[in-house]
Amino acid sequence: MQISHGAVAAGFENVLDLFESFLAEDPAYSAQVSAYHGGVQVVGLAGGPDMAADTVTGAYSCSKGVAAMVIALLVQENVLDLDRPVAFYWPEFGVHGKDRLLVREALSHQAGLPGIEGGFGLSEITTAAAAARLASARPLWQPGRQFGYHALTIGILMEELCRRTSGESLQDLYNRRIRIPNGVDFFLGLPEEEEHRYRDVLYATEPDQPWLDPLSLDGLNSNSPVSTIMELPNIRAVRAAGMSAAGGVGSADGLARLYAAATTGVDGAEPFLGEDTVTRMSAEQVWGLDRSSGLDNAFAVVFMKPHPSRNFGSHRAFGHEGANAALGFADPAYALGFGYVPRRAEDGRTPGRAHRLAAAVRRSAAALA
């Protein structure tokens, strides 16, 4: 067992003990975990084979939570109104009964558009062409009446709403307004000069797995050069494009620092989101049986919310997990920003390692209150 880099603040030693126990019980285990309390980093750990403190790797749908920070800025600056119809900003979208769908409903997986007939080609997923195809699609259910996880299409919705309201791509706005000013080590579009830090996500391959319906979770068509969504960040073109649904690349510290910068501020700076914006973006919109996955789920505006099967924080917490069990969230009840990124994909459902580490961090923060 070897920790590549390890630092915890006084009072957070239990997190180190738990992380070391994971390393001891599984020689193949590699991961990073980071936490900020009150804007100060209190946990920064990386360990296992080929996983250093400065390693970056795929974090899958954690990217949605990162991209949602851009949406939050647009809401905060009154550029985007959650209670206007999507079609107010994007007229072409208002067909086939989608004309009354509100932005907050579309961004909480209620649009009825988890995919489109024929699926998307991988090369088009972040383009205006994909947005045009989504806009003209018929929803699978009456928009705003039910919810089902829009694994890839919620990224298209966010990106097009950003283009329509700000005139800038979501990825560019994220870099300019959030990532660079706050020193966040998480990328929606990994630059070539950062490629040397990237390590492929390791995952179990299932070569005989049948293609999913193009309207289901994967949403990619049979011409796409992938057999599973797990391959996405390991493809240079995907991580370079920075698709906001699943193409983000970064470190655990990048996720933790982002959520801390948004809610408590870091390095003595004010948070970039105000309390009212945090409350509006993190208020639960839907909870119950997810039509796409058949599992229980809960969402705020884009962000995941804790619930009994995904118990990562208090009722005020908001964030997003990834398909490899990566996790990033803020918990204003504890003044926390948290990030966890494994090298080898894990089962992220409770009691996953990310949730156990998050609980340890919360216990330590509560003891210091």
Q: What pLDDT does 210 receive?
A: 45
248 neighbors 232 (Cβ within 8 angstroms): no
What phi, psi does 327 have (nearest 5°)?
-155, 135
324 neighbors 246 (Cβ within 8 angstroms): no
Q: What pLDDT does 53 receive?
A: 92
Strand, coil or helix: what is 298?
strand
88 in any annotated domain: no
129 in any annotated domain: no
Task: State which residues form the domain around 11.
Answer: 3-68+172-368
47 in any annotated domain: yes
Q: What pLDDT does 218 receive?
A: 56
36 strand-pairing partners: 41, 337
Full pLDDT tens readout for the chain, 369 residues: 456 568 899 999 999 999 999 999 999 999 999 999 999 999 999 999 999 999 999 999 999 999 999 999 999 999 999 999 999 999 999 999 999 999 999 999 999 999 888 888 888 888 899 999 999 999 999 999 999 999 999 999 999 999 999 999 999 999 999 999 999 999 999 999 999 999 999 987 654 444 445 445 456 776 776 767 888 999 999 999 999 999 999 999 999 999 999 999 999 999 999 999 999 999 999 999 999 888 899 999 999 999 998 899 999 999 999 999 999 999 999 999 999 999 999 975 556 999 999 999 999 999 997
Domain of residue 197, CATH code = 3.40.710.10
51 neighbors 4 (Cβ within 8 angstroms): yes
pTM, to two decimals = 0.95
121 in any annotated domain: no
Strand, coil or helix: what is 227?
coil
What angle in degrees, to the nearest 10, is found between the helix axes of 62-76 and 252-263? 20
75 in any annotated domain: no
215 neighbors 114 (Cβ within 8 angstroms): yes
Measured CA to CA in angstroms, residue 225 lies from 195, 234, 237 at distances of: 21, 12, 11
Q: What pLDDT does 6 receive?
A: 82
258 in any annotated domain: yes
355 neighbors 328 (Cβ within 8 angstroms): no
250 in any annotated domain: yes
83 in any annotated domain: no
Q: What pLDDT does 209 receive?
A: 47
**CA 288 to CA 227: how far, in whole Å?**
30
Domain count, the chain: 1
277 neighbors 76 (Cβ within 8 angstroms): yes
